[in-house]
Structure 1
Amino acid sequence: MKILIIGGHGTIGKRVTQHLSRKHDLVIAGRTKGDILVDIANTTAIKEMFEKTGTVDAIVCIAGEAKWAPFNEMTEEDFYIGIKSKLMGQVNLVRIGSAYLSDGGSFTLTTGILADDPVDMTTSAAMVNGGIHSFVKAAALELANGHRINVVASGLVVDAVEKYRDYFPGHHPIPMDKVVNGYLRSIEGKGKGEIIRIYS
């Protein structure tokens, strides 16, 4: 398959990329690094990316940002960071990308455990993750041309423990191979409308 991976050089993305590259043709996109540069918060940039890739068999997003800060310090604009990037960025990848996805192709989006088990300073990230889960379940009912859509939601991954350990007291780090398998299940499997939770 020809697979577009947005965020393929990130903490999780590079592991997914390493595995998929063994049997698939990959195009890596990212905000600062990749075969194609794209800011998913920018609709024009998304359209330009797809004009460069042409038709692909799978679209995988492991990108998107949201601000972490105490709720009483968050401004409306702070919430819009996550809404424009991680939420609408992924929605627009599906909305625009449908025209560039081959029949029977798949979308795989990314969220995380915060949708179900938020921690301090994550009101924006938790809100966005939950919104994506609802979007995926609803979009799966309406996508045409045999397109599938799923979302992978992981807990704190092993490769990010040093950076985020203090934010997730008592959380068991998720081995990277388990996380990668979640993406393989979405991309190479047949499921649709699934929230693939990898929390333990």
Structure 2
Amino acid sequence: MRIVIIGGNGTIGKKVSAHFSKNNEVIIAARNDGDACVDISDSKSIEAMFDKIGNIDAIICIAGEAKWKSFDELTEDEYYIGLKSKLMGQVNLVRIGRKYLNPNGSITLTTGILADEPVVLTASAAMVNGAIHSFVKAVVLEIDNGARINVVSSGVVEDAYEKYQDYFPGHNPIPMHKVVNGYVKSVQGKINGEIIRIYD
């Protein structure tokens, strides 16, 4: 398969890219360093990326940002960071990317445990993750060409646990191989419109 992985150089992206690179052609897309350049908060940048790389069998997005800040301090503009990047960035990857997706291809988006189990400082991030879950369940009712769309939603991964453990008291770090398998399930399986939760 020919797979583009947006965010393929990140903490999770590196492991996912390494796995799929064993038997597939993997194109890593990132803001700064990768095989292709993309800023998912800009739909024109997404279009330019797909114009460059051409048709694809699978799209995986492990990118997007949202502001972590107390609810009392979050400004309207700071909410728009998550809405424009993680939410609309992934929506636009589906909206634009499906035109470049080969028949029976797949699109895999990424959220996280905050959609179901938010913690403090995550009013914006939790909202965005939940919206993506609803979007995926709705868009599969209309998408054509045999395309499948799923979302991988993970807890705090082992490789980032030390950095984030204070925000997630009592949460178990998720082994990286479990997270990678979530993406494998989405890309190589037949499921569609699913939220692949990896929380324990």
TM-score bracket for this pair, using the shorter chain length: over 0.9
What does residue 61 of structure 1 align with? 61
SS of 2:67's equivalent? coil
- 5 Å-filtered alignment, 1:46-195, equals 46-195=46-195
Give the CA deviation at 1:163: 1.0
TM-score by length of 2: 0.99
Unpaired stretches in structure 1, ≥5 consecutive residues: none
SS at the partner of 2:181? Answer: helix
After TM superposition, list the pairs within 5 Å mapping 1:22-37 onto structure 2: 22-37=22-37
Q: Hey, what's the Cα distance between the residues in 2 that align with 1:101 and 1:94? A: 10
TM-score (norm 1): 0.99
Q: State the distance in 2 between where 1:167 and 1:199 align.
A: 15
SS at match of 1:137: helix
CA distance in 2, matches of 1:4, 1:92: 15
Identity in percent: 66
Residue 180 (structure 1) shift: 0.2
**How far apart are residue 162 of structure 1 and its match?**
1.4
Q: Structure 1: how far apart are the matches of 2:185 and 2:175?
A: 16
Give 4+ residue runs of structure 1 displaced > 3 Å after superposition: none
Q: 2:169 aligns to what SS in structure 1?
A: coil
- Cα deviation digits, residues 43-95 of structure 1 (max 9, x gap): 11000000001000000000000000000000000000000000000000000
| Matched residue count | 200
Q: Report what 1:4 is aligned to.
A: 4
Q: 1:32, CA displacement in angstroms?
A: 1.5
SS in 2 for 1:5: strand
Partners of 1:33 and 1:41 in 2: CA distance: 17
In 2, the alpha carbon distance for the partners of 1:193 and 1:145 equals 15
1:184 is displaced (CA, Å) by: 0.1
The one-character-per-residue Cα deviations of 1:108-150 (angstroms, maximum 9, x if unpaired) are: 0000000000001000100000000000000111111000000
Alignment partners' CA distance in 1, 2:34 and 2:166: 30
